[in-house]
């Protein structure tokens, strides 16, 4: 039995990395998947691949930081599939890094808009659609950075991602009685384009891997499986959590 049979899921940031792996896994598990990111041609190729493998998918291209797009994402989902059960709000950026006194306000705002304001906008339009569908599972992709670790130079990223945990708790409390579960997923280092830009030499990659108790970073598919848990009925009693799936980077001290 497929774990998401009959469900309709939106996955943002699906043109690369964790989001792409999640969209592919959800489609394999029987969900109709709406894949979202800015690069339309990459999304179209993903829809083609999912469809070829027997799944069902729709591409909706745009910027998650824009309110009009947050509305369109849900409208197009409902127009095509008629309901909304699951959302993995995963799109995010590291943004400009460095000490706060050197940080331009525009750089701060870009990270907050893409990573945190996008989550508010997403919830604003996704929740009514999930309520109309009888409930569901809403997930925000956060990180251990700013939750269990203060990493120099990452103020905007950490603040935006810690904000997602607060948003998660409030929404979980507000919507639990209406059968909507809301959780934050906090990955450790994961081998994606973003991670390769962050640690761009073999030495840096070895250093990052060594921060984790497992002495490696994750494959995107490993995080996708955690998203599948939160999205599926396996997590029927899990709400309001900040779920670490981080290879032990939060507890490792050596």
- 157 included as an active-site residue: yes
Q: Which is nearer to ligand NAP, 133 or 245 (CB)?
A: 245
Query: SS3 string of 213-225?
Result: CCCCCECHHHHHH
Dig out the tokens for 96 from the structure: 């400009």
Residue 189 Cβ, how far from ligand NAP at the closest point, in Å? 4
Tell whether residue 219 is a contact of ligand NAP (CB under 6 A). Answer: no
Q: Which is nearer to ligand NAP, 69 or 133 (CB)?
A: 69
Residue 141 Cβ, how far from ligand NAP at the closest point, in Å? 4
Tell whether residue 192 is a contact of ligand NAP (CB under 6 A). Answer: yes
Contact 3, 234 (CB under 8 A): yes
Residue 6 Cβ, how far from ligand NAP at the closest point, in Å? 26
Residue with tokens 């709000």: 89
Euclidean distance between the first and the last CA atom of the chain, given in angstroms as a whole number? 42
> CA geometry: angle at 110 spanning 106 and 112, to 5°?
115
Query: b/e map of 190-200 (b: 16 or more CB within 10 Å)?
Result: bbbeebeeebe
Interface with ligand NAP (CB under 6 A), residue total 29
Residue 162 Cβ, how far from ligand NAP at the closest point, in Å? 12
- Give the other-Cβ count within 10 Å of 79's Cβ: 9
Stretch of 45-53, 176-184, 191-199, 227-235 contacting ligand NAP, by CB under 6 A: 191-199
> Which residue from 46, 64, 228, 249 is in contact with ligand NAP, where contact means CB under 6 A?
64
Which residues are CB-contacts of 109 (< 8 A; sequence separation ≥ 6)? none
Q: Which is nearer to ligand NAP, 46 or 171 (CB)?
A: 46
> Which residue from 95, 146, 187, 247 is in contact with ligand NAP, where contact means CB under 6 A?
187
> Which residue from 46, 50, 65, 87 is in contact with ligand NAP, where contact means CB under 6 A?
65
Question: Closest Cα partner for 5 from 254, 232, 208?
Answer: 232
87-146 residues in contact with ligand NAP (CB under 6 A) are 90-93, 114, 141, 143
Of 125, 157, 175, 229, catalytic = 157
Query: How far is CA 61 from each of CA 14, 44, 192, rounded to the nearest angstrom?
Result: 10, 9, 20
Contact 184, 221 (CB under 8 A): no
28-57 residues in contact with ligand NAP (CB under 6 A) are 37-39, 42
CA distance 25 to 14: 11
Binding site for ligand NAP (CB under 6 A): 12-19, 37-39, 42, 63-65, 90-93, 114, 141, 143, 187, 189-190, 192-195
Active site residues: 157
């Amino acid at each position: 039995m497929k774990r998401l049979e009959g469900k309709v899921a939106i996955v943002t940031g699906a043109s690369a990395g964790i989001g792409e792996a999640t969209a592919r896994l959800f489609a394999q598990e029987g969900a109709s998947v709406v894949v979202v990111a800015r690069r339309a041609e990459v999304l179209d190729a993903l829809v083609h691949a999912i469809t070829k493998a027997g799944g069902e998918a729709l591409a909706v291209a745009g910027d998650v930081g824009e309110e009009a797009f947050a509305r369109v994402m849900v409208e197009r989902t409902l127009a095509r599939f008629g309901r909304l059960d699951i959302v993995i709000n995963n799109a995010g950026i590291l943004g400009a890094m460095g000490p706060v006194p050197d940080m331009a306000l525009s750089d701060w705002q870009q990270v907050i808009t893409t990573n945190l304001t996008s989550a508010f906008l997403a919830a604003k339009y996704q929740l009514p659609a999930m309520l109309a569908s009888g409930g569901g599972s809403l997930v925000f992709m956060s990180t251990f950075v700013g939750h269990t670790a203060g990493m120099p130079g990452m103020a905007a990223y950490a603040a935006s991602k810690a904000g997602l945990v607060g948003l998660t708790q409030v929404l979980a409390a507000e919507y639990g009685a209406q059968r909507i579960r809301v959780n934050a997923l906090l990955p450790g280092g994961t081998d994606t384009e973003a991670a390769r830009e962050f640690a761009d030499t073999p030495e840096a990659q070895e250093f990052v891997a060594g921060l984790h108790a497992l002495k490696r970073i994750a494959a995107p598919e490993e995080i996708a499986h955690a998203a599948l848990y939160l999205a599926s009925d396996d997590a029927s009693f899990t709400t309001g959590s900040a779920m670490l799936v981080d290879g032990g980077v939060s507890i490792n001290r050596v």
